[in-house]
Structure 1
Amino acid sequence: MSAPEPPKIEFPCAYPVKVLGRSTADFEAVVLAVFERHAPGFERDKITVRSSGKGSFTALTITITATGPVQLEALHEELIATGRVQMVI
């Protein structure tokens, strides 16, 4: 018996992206600049920001209108390439 296939995502769709990195003065600005290049027009007023218990890390959740897997992969790659992002979920 084979495993069922995961559900397919139908694009375009609202797609939340969580980005985790070390808390620095410009972390949020760097991340938002990357999002602006790959998903211009996302709703900045809906971004959630959370700090870790000791304040060492910051997590941003940003919902974009995803247009396809190519966009999401490019976004992920550029976020990691900043050197500021530890994880993208």
Structure 2
Amino acid sequence: MTEEKQTLIEFPTDFSLKIMGAQHPDFLPEILKTIRQHAPDTSEANVKTRPSSSGNYIGATVTVRAESQEHLDGIYRAVTSHPMVKVVF
């Protein structure tokens, strides 16, 4: 008997990840490179950015196409383990 994980998300779906990191010229290219390892169709058009009020940090909302909970989990793990990323929600 296999046990299925319950999820409230219906897949496939477009899912927005909110990613925070230090203001750095390589932040967005690095984040996109990391996400594209799991979701190759993700482009700059899927990214919205906003600097922090102090300008020290940048927030990026990246919308990815998630095919399953496992796929989304893989993307999330890759992004959260990136050294330039401070927070993902």
Question: What interval of TM-score do these two structures reach, taking the shorter chain for normalisation?
Answer: 0.7 to 0.9
Unpaired segments ≥5 residues, structure 2: 1-6
The letter for the 2-side match of 1:23 is: Q
Aligned counterpart, 1:79: 79
| 1:62 aligned partner | 62
Q: Deviations over 1:41-75 (max 9, x none)?
A: 12422411100011111111111111111112111
Gapped regions of structure 1 (runs ≥ 5)? 1-6
Tell which deviates more after alignment, 56-65 or 67-76: 67-76
Q: Distance in 2 between matches of 1:43 and 1:82?
A: 18
1:3-59 superposed Cα distances (whole Å, 9 cap, x missing partner): xxxx71110011111111111121111100011111111242241110001111111
Normalised to the residue count of structure 2, the TM-score between the two structures is 0.83
Percent identity (aligned): 25
Structure 2 CA distance for aligned equivalents of residues 43 and 33 of structure 1 = 10
Q: Where in structure 1 do 4 or more consecutive aligned residues deviate above 3 Å?
A: none
Q: Which residue of 1 aligns with 2:4?
A: none
Structure 2 CA distance for aligned equivalents of residues 24 and 12 of structure 1: 32
The aligned length equals 84
